Structure 1
Amino acid sequence: MKNVIEMKKSYFLLLAFSFLFGITVQGQSTLTLHTEQAKTKINKEIYGHFAEHLGHCIYGGIYVGVDSDIPNIRGFREDVVGALQDMKIPLLRWPGGCFADTYHWKDGIGPQHKRPSIVNVHWGGVTEDNSFGTHEFLDFCELIHAEPYINLNVGSGTVQEASEWVEYVTSSNESPMTKLRKENGRDKPWDVKYWGIGNENWGCGGNMTPEYYADLYNRFATYCRGNLYRIAGGPSVDDYNWMRVIMQKTSLHPYLVQGVSLHNYTFTTSWTDKGSATDFDEGGWFSVLQNTLKMKTLIERHSSIMDQYDPNKRVGLIVDEWGDWFNVEPGTNPGFLYQQNTLRDALVAGINLNMFNNHADRVKMANIAQMVNVLQSVILTKEKEMVLTPTYYVFKMYSVHQDATMIPVNLNCDDYEYNGQSVPAVSASASVKDGVVSITLCNLNPEKAESIDLTLTGQEFASASGQVITSPNMNDYNDFGQNEKVALKAFDVKKPKNGKLSVELPSKSVVLVQLK
């Protein structure tokens, strides 16, 4: 009884101090990892990327040509190739995007000097010489060890054009298309599994109704033959009717569809108020992270619709365009969508990847937009120089999750509050691969460290190590000709004891903890 009285005295004394000095009494954040329940594979394709003919993503960012004085391998930037190999890029989507539905693939094969040019009507109205086409893209994918994902032209193309592209790339039979491929220097077919049938057909891909597109999809998919992973053009953000119609109509021919796409971008406030990529205060920080977290609702609501027609989760949810979209950098071409990349973008990447990991039973692929020089890119280039962005380092850190087994987690954490609104202060996901448990954690709070107690059920571990991405200022970014401000650094982690481990996450940070 005496001990109870003393405990009550201590509690009320703590409350008194809290009242007098403005200290808030908060519960300790906890993360429980159910290692014994790990069974769902996190597809490596969740860590995919997107490269569209947009601005300097392809030309100047990836491809400079064999005659360039920028060091290159068969025309591909040597520094970019090395960086992507080191990041362990698993998959690359091409040629778009909106560009895909104006792209006619036969214009991009054969001798480069004989290829007709094309006006990029979607992005800046620039004229391109088609020197980067099918062979160059697939050569580049082989060079960086990435799976290729090709988006077919449905908006302005034909079924014949699409089926012949598939045949040209994948067939080993004797046919006019395989003969043409061999004439252009490639004897053996490429192993291209992933094919998108149209892009944003509710918008730039044709302004179609979901009913019309679904019927058109079934027609195109029927004639794109082979052991393919066909991806239907799915909804924009929260267009749940589009998802329902696509699932209804394609479920009549289930062998024709293996995935349905979802596109969702994060803005500061809205499409018309995207905000600056670098010039923002805590309000800009908070609103972007708050909007990023809406991805969880989108995944869960679209998945629930898919479950009605596909309860066995045979069809994958393919988030093949996601990331931050801000105003272009001052003085740059508005049609090129060039933006810098700060620590805030690193948090956005980490939070999204955690959400994809935790929904790996349905999310089978995701492609951040875009890989080089466009939107939330992992690499920036300027003539001979290259910059690795904070987002690059998140993908490098999170590569440990590729093809690992997802560990279900229960997270209880404090809220990060700003201006009367709040979001969870911590985001987390975990996986196991080759006996190593990897836990990725994001502290969304830019002002306060977050202590979190980890509990691991079903297994004991002998050692722990860690990495961290953070910086003194939320606006910090890496720029040309300067030392990096945001990069991967070692992070001290104590050895777990009796299945428990305490970690203090620095403010505005992304952290990896690995246990063996």
Structure 2
Amino acid sequence: MRFSKTVSICITVFLMVSVSSVVSKTAVKHGADINKLKISEQSGAPIIAPEIYGHFSEHLGRCIYGGIWVGEDSDIPNVKGIRKDVLDALRNLNVPVLRWPGGCFADEYHWKDGIGPKDQRPEIVNTHWGMVTEDNSFGTHEFMRLCELLDCEAYIAGNVGSGTPEEMMDWVEYLTFAGKSEMANLRRKNGREEPWDVKYFGVGNENWGCGGNMTPEYYSDVYKRYQTYVKNYPGSRVKKIACGPNSWDTHWMEVLMRNCRGKMDAISLHYYIMTGSWGNKGSAVDFEEKDWFKLMDNALKVRDLLAAHIEIMDKYDPDKSIGLYVDEWGTWWNRQPGSKPGFLYQQNTIRDAVSAGIFLNEFNKHAKRVKMANIAQTVNVLQAMILTKQEKMILTPTYHVFEMYKHHQGSELVNSSLEARSYSLGGENLPALNVSASKTDNGVYVTICNINHQSGEKISIEVEGRDIADVSGRTLTANKINSHNTFSSPGNVQPTALNDVQIKGNTLSLELPAKSVSAFTVKQKN
């Protein structure tokens, strides 16, 4: 591999199953003593879109109110109403894009309720999530300010289910038009002279379900109607996202790609995983070894899910001009005991962290088509980055995964060929490791996932090209499969220094801890 003079390779180790793709292949070696990885460049490699590491913030439970937004008069330190501790933590992730206001909430949200003086904004009932009353103090201006503070792109989800094309058209004009018009002048009246740079606009959300219970044939006509009014004003280019399928619904993908190609920039995909059923999803913290294994298997299925939908997309869009946006993904558990119904508050263990690594590695390896992904959700909801309790805040194990993976953003995918040992439980087998790798300005960044919860996995890594000069990094692991951070013990699961790396020529060897995530930089000699 011909890298720049100083090549750094970061390897994040996750509990994860590795599978083959056009840029990464895995062979399972039953009974082998060691895993083997070879890293090399490839021709025509795609760039890993930074937006793959995106986030999702819905008006749901305590994600917005109490999580992100506390108001300017709060005793909790804030920046114009946005929690400062949460803001600082999210800045450390280099958040590339943030999706808002939903989710199911989006297709009941009327954006004009959330602008103007806060004491004049109407109260609304959040019928999807807990039947709670919201005061609309967090609206368009507050969200766009959050994006500016995070230096991230805004992804707005528009109301198709209960809104009108005119309402959607007005919102886009309010957000993006620099000239004189009713909506642009209204924006100025509300304190914002210049338009915002809104790059992404979703035309509805889950319209196969909470967004209207539509058929794909019906929604494709609705989409074509509504997207007509998502205008590109001078100096603005908004990417239009069609509502895509729920998990394995390939028929929905087929109909939308056949009927709407040429009128969309991207199509969404939603995929949640659990160990039970939708009626009883399983506990976030009280689970057994078999539940660990089952979740890893379910997470690994994202590879086949992506392949199935990409095959359809390639049939209608061989030039890959339409992006696949996995704009809701993650683990979904029964609500935490004692939390409010409909708030979807759940704890977050090392198991969730490992599953996140599986998803991110697979998104990386499918970077030719996957151009965005948004984990659900940012704060206090589902597989959250952050949990808050009044003035307290903790970082979850999944947060540390995103922090360790952030160097993939905008990097060039490279080839990773892995021979993995078999990881077995109850007569079932999965490959013990999974890999994705990218070439950055400083070298190559590699993420490896060890899904074996029972023991460490030895690995030999050959980096094509020059000899290795130095290796340094961190490991995220835990004592138990359900270890998690709490408000009384916020540091139970956090990265520590990576040790005992052996170097010989252009090969390094080490043992990846059980149920672990590791990230390390390999520098090659000049």
Partner deviation per Cα, 1:352-395 (whole Å, 9 max, x = no partner): 10110111111000000000000000000000000000000000
Structure 2: where are the runs of 5+ without partners? Answer: 1-29
Q: Quote the offset at 1:460 in angstroms.
A: 4.6
Q: Secondary structure at the match of 2:469?
A: coil
Root-mean-square deviation (Å): 1.3
Q: TM-score, normalised by structure 2?
A: 0.91
- Paired residues in the alignment total 490
Task: Deviation per CA, 1:322-376: give whole Å up to 9, x if none.
Answer: 0000000111112000000000011011111011011111100000000000000
Higher relative contact order (CA 8 A, sep 6+): 2
2:95 counterpart SS class = coil
Q: State the match for 1:123 in structure 2.
A: 129
Which residue number corresponds to residue 386 of structure 1? 393
Matched, 1:134 2:137: no
CA separation of 1:230/1:329 partners in 2, compared to 1, >3 Å: closer, same or farther?
same
Segments of 5+ residues of structure 1 without an aligned counterpart are: 1-23
Say which of 249, 264, 271 aligns to 2:259: 249
Instruction: State the match for 1:61 in structure 2.
Output: 67
Determine if the alignment matches structure 1 residue 225 to structure 2 residue 223: no
Tell me the amino acid that sits aligned with residue 138 of structure 2: F
- Letter paired with 2:204: G
User: Does residue 334 in structure 1 map to residue 344 in structure 2?
Assistant: no
What's 2:310 paired with?
Answer: 303
The AA in structure 2 aligned to 1:93 is: R
* Cα deviation 1:459-495 (Å, max 9, x = unaligned): 5543222211001111110000224111121213646
The structure with the larger Rg is 1
For 2:166 and 2:283, how far apart are their aligned partners in 1? 44
CA–CA distance in structure 1, aligned partners of residues 40 and 338 of structure 2: 51
1:197 and 2:203 equivalent?
yes
Match of 1:447 among 449, 454, 458: 454
Structure 2 partner of 1:85? 91
Answer yes or no: is the 8 Å Cα contact 1:292–1:348 preserved in 2. yes
**Residue 312 in 1 paired to residue 322 in 2?**
no
In the other structure, the counterpart of 2:268 is 261
User: Which amino acid is 1:220 matched to?
Assistant: Y
**Residue 92 of structure 2 aligns to a residue in which SS?**
helix
Indicate if the aligned counterparts of 1:43 and 1:365 stay in contact, CA closer than 8 A.
yes
Displacement of 1:25: 3.9
Q: Which residue of 2 aligns with 1:17?
A: none
Identity %: 53
Q: 1:52 aligns with which of 46, 58, 63?
A: 58
| Partner in structure 2 of residue 282 of structure 1 | 289
Letter in 2 for 1:376: Q
Task: Name the residue aligned to 1:433.
Answer: 440
Q: Is the 8 A contact 1:35 1:458 kept in 2?
A: no
Q: What residue is the counterpart of 1:498 in the other structure? A: 505
Task: Note the alpha carbon deviations across 1:142-162, whole angstroms, 9 max, x for none.
Answer: 112221100000011111110
Q: Per-residue displacement from partner, 1:415-438 (whole Å, max 9, x unpaired)?
A: 211112122111211111113211
Separation (CA, whole Å) in 1 of partners of 2:427 and 2:280: 21
| 1:349 aligns to 2:361 (yes or no) | no
Q: Which moved more, 1:498-507 or 1:315-324?
A: 498-507
Equivalent position amino acid for 1:291 in 2: N
SS in 1 for 2:228: helix
- TM-score using structure 1 length: 0.93
Aligned twin of 1:20: none
Cα distance in 1 between the residues matched to 2:44 and 2:405: 18
Amino acid at match of 2:165: V
Aligned amino acid, residue 262 of structure 1: L
CA distance in 2, matches of 1:93, 1:186: 21
More helix by share: 1
For 2:239 and 2:270, the matched residues in 1 are separated by: 18
Q: Confirm whether residue 173 of structure 1 aligns to residue 179 of structure 2.
A: yes
Secondary structure, aligned partner of 1:335: coil
Contact 1:267–1:273 at 8 Å: present in 2 too?
no
**Secondary structure in 1 aligned to 2:342?**
helix
| Residue correspondence of structure 1 range 368-379 to structure 2 within 5 A | 368-379=375-386
Q: Does residue 40 of structure 1 match 2:50?
A: no
SS in 2 for 1:464: strand
Contact between 2:110 and 2:163, CA under 8 Å: does it hold in 1?
A: yes
